[in-house]
Amino acid sequence: MSDLKRSLGEAVAAAFAAQGLPQDLGRVTASDRPDLADFQCNGALAAAKVARKPPREIAAAVVEALAGRPELQSVEIAGLGFINMRVSADTLSARAREIAADPRAGAEEIAEPRRVMIDYAGPNVAKPMHVGHLRASIIGESIKRLYRFRGDQVLGDAHFGDWGFQMGLLIVAACDDDPFIAALMERLAGAATISDEDERKVMAALAEHVSLADLDRLYPLAAGKAKTDTDYRDRARKATAELQGGRLGYRLLWKHFVNVSRVALEREFHALGVDFDLWKGESDADALIPGMVKDLEDKGLLVEDQGARIIRVAREGDKRELPPLLVVSSEGSAMYGTTDLATILDRRKSFDPNLILYCVDQRQADHFEQVFRAAYLAGYANAGELEHIGFGTMNGTDGKPFKTREGGVLKLHDLIEMTREKARERLREAGLGEALAPEEFEETAHKVAVAALKFADLSNFRGTSYVFDLDRFSSFEGKTGPYLLYQAVRIKSLLRKAAEAHLHPARIQVAEPAERDLALLLDAFDAALTEAYDKKAPNFVAEHAYKLAQAFSKFYAACPILKGVDEKVGGSRLALALATLKQLETALDLLGIETPERM
């Protein structure tokens, strides 16, 4: 199954080639003037320079080659040599019927699937998520769904921050805060191993003494104290080294920190419609670091520099100097970039991906460029197999990164709750959800809130920053997530009413202008997915979903379905509505947005 733009593009390209001109001049796009044509090609203007002929003469030859094609109602020249094409009603009807019957709603799969790993979200032990995690989570989840839908084998990894100095800080803080924890750590200090039963008892005791609320309270205090108290900082460094060296008590305490944090994080992520295949932490790569450092040394890549060991990654021709990757500090510690390099090795061994995508703030671009170049130099990945998918910031109305009224970083949980309350308010204002039971109303409000948050983000190209405006994003009017949900629910309501009236979907026959517009939008789905896939940019899917919802709204207003038409016409239009719902829900699912059944 091929979309109309592609099949017409092939025909136009062949017409250009028949004149001895490059085929890529036959590129076909949706018309800028839908009142004049469905599709257009502007290649004759560029071809004129190559062929040294007037563009209208070249366009005339293309039009002649296309004349008589059954899928075209008309093909004409406009202006200096623009080629305008209008698809026949029979062709458009047949294409709409194909899409209606297709389980994938008109979307094709890629010809050569790949193994793809997507690293996104990046939550940390003991640190509640804040708005900075929102974009990474939303964009990464959508790209994961998009790539999987297109046919790739995809794993999404949370890349859990569970190692390093912050763990030493927490260990020291927990011991200082609770004498029981300090005594337990002292009692286990000399033990190399304990029985499974004793380990279960230790873990149960830790669960009684260290909660998520304790971690939330202790970490900022410890981090703040370490900045000013040298002795405290040294104790935390020692605890970090002992943890990484395998000290049993610290390992069990660390394991408890990880478990408590992960349960809460998974709950919060799931509420956002974000779920991971893997929760691999930085700790999973730690065991690989000694061997990797030896390998880098053997390959002659490590360079001594003021007591530290680095890899020089700058290249001739760089527009600006890229600093070297610090692998081992002057104190002998493995660094942040070292862990990232070892993580690439771990992923290579466990999954052997053809592509690893890192969905992380654009401000980390230099760091990833350093790591990627080092990986290429070491032979841990081939050029092009590692890619940083950067994104801008979510800003407040002042144009600066979003903060609380007090100037602090807003926790993601608080943002979700704030948006959920606004969703309740919007539903009541619009008179929606009045017939729902309280539990279903709350579920619907949650879906509206998530749609507001996600669509506000994903409707923008990921590389740009945007202003967070909750009042605008939560509206049921305009280019918003709630508007899309409303249109989907509207179609579901129509289908229920049709069933009550015993009207069933029938063979689609496009006739009216609003039907044509809707059918053309349905046909454009695969092109939107291709663009989103190639550019790793979900905003193309978001844009298509919005245009499709708009086209349905106009169709619904202009083309009666349940009354005033015969059963054949009503059934055809009902089938179009059903195809629209399937495609709209497919697009929304790729954005990570779930639609309610009713409002």
Query: Beta partners for 334?
Result: 328
Residue 393 belongs to some domain of the structure:
no
- Do residues 200 and 82 share a domain? no
- Do residues 578 and 444 share a domain? yes
- Do residues 423 and 531 share a domain? yes
- Do residues 421 and 522 share a domain? yes
Please report, for the domain that includes residue 76, its CATH number: 3.30.1360.70
For 531, the token pair is 């663009």
Domain end residue (candidates: 87, 121, 143): 87
| pLDDT value for 170 | 96
Report the alpha-carbon distance of residue 195 to residue 315 in Å, rounded: 53
Q: Is 476 buried (19+), middle (13-18) or exposed (0-12) by CB count in 10 A?
A: buried
| pLDDT value for 331 | 78
How do beta strands 394-395 and 303-305 pair?
unpaired
| Total domains in the fold of the chain | 3
Residue 318 belongs to some domain of the structure:
no
Report the alpha-carbon distance of residue 576 to residue 507 in Å, rounded: 9
Residue 255 belongs to some domain of the structure:
yes
Element (H, E) at 531: helix 525-535
Helix (H, G, I), strand (E, B) or coil at 474: coil
Domain end residue (candidates: 241, 271, 301): 271
- Do residues 61 and 177 share a domain? no
| pLDDT value for 405 | 65
**Nearest in space to 132 (alpha carbons), one of 347, 364, 295:** 364
| pLDDT value for 398 | 80
Using alpha carbons, list the distances in angstroms from residue 575 to 305, 486, 555. 70, 19, 13
Residue 193 belongs to some domain of the structure:
yes
Rg (CA), the chain: 29
Alpha helices in 360-435 (DSSP H): 365-378, 412-429
Please report, for the domain that includes residue 546, its CATH number: 1.10.730.10
Residue 366 belongs to some domain of the structure:
no
- Do residues 448 and 569 share a domain? yes
pLDDT in tens, the chain (599 residues): 689 999 999 999 999 999 999 999 999 999 999 999 999 999 999 999 888 999 999 999 999 999 989 999 999 999 999 999 999 999 999 999 999 999 999 999 999 999 999 999 999 998 878 887 889 999 999 999 999 999 999 999 999 999 988 999 999 999 999 999 999 999 999 888 999 999 999 999 999 999 988 998 999 999 999 999 999 999 999 999 899 889 999 999 999 999 999 998 998 899 899 999 999 989 999 999 999 999 999 999 999 999 999 999 999 999 988 999 999 988 787 888 999 999 999 999 999 999 999 999 999 999 999 999 999 999 999 999 999 999 998 888 888 877 766 667 788 888 889 999 999 999 999 999 999 999 999 999 999 999 999 999 999 999 999 998 999 999 999 999 999 999 999 999 999 999 999 999 999 999 999 999 999 999 999 999 999 999 999 999 999 999 999 999 999 999 999 999 999 999 999 999 999 999 999 999 999 999 999 99
- Residue type (1 letter), 197: E
Residue 390 belongs to some domain of the structure:
no
- Residue type (1 letter), 75: V
| Inter-residue contact 458 to 542 (CB < 8 Å) | yes
Element (H, E) at 501: none
Report the alpha-carbon distance of residue 416 to residue 274 in Å, rounded: 13
How do beta strands 308-311 and 303-305 pair?
antiparallel
Using alpha carbons, list the distances in angstroms from residue 262 to 73, 127, 205. 59, 11, 18
List of E strands, 148-239: 153-157
36 sits in the region (left: phi over 0; alpha: psi -120 to 50; else beta) called alpha
Residue 328 belongs to some domain of the structure:
no
Report the alpha-carbon distance of residue 471 to residue 468 in Å, rounded: 9
- Do residues 79 and 187 share a domain? no
Domain end residue (candidates: 59, 87, 115): 87
**Nearest in space to 468 (alpha carbons), one of 420, 419, 517, 426:** 419
- Do residues 171 and 56 share a domain? no
- Residue type (1 letter), 453: L
| Inter-residue contact 583 to 525 (CB < 8 Å) | yes
The domain containing residue 499 runs over which residues?
A: 412-590
Which residues are CB-neighbours of 457 under 8 A, at least 6 positions away?
134, 135, 138, 139, 394, 466
Residue 184 belongs to some domain of the structure:
yes
How do beta strands 82-87 and 72-78 pair?
antiparallel
Using alpha carbons, list the distances in angstroms from residue 250 to 175, 190, 460, 502, 598. 10, 12, 44, 68, 51
Report the alpha-carbon distance of residue 358 to residue 343 in Å, rounded: 12
- Do residues 475 and 564 share a domain? yes
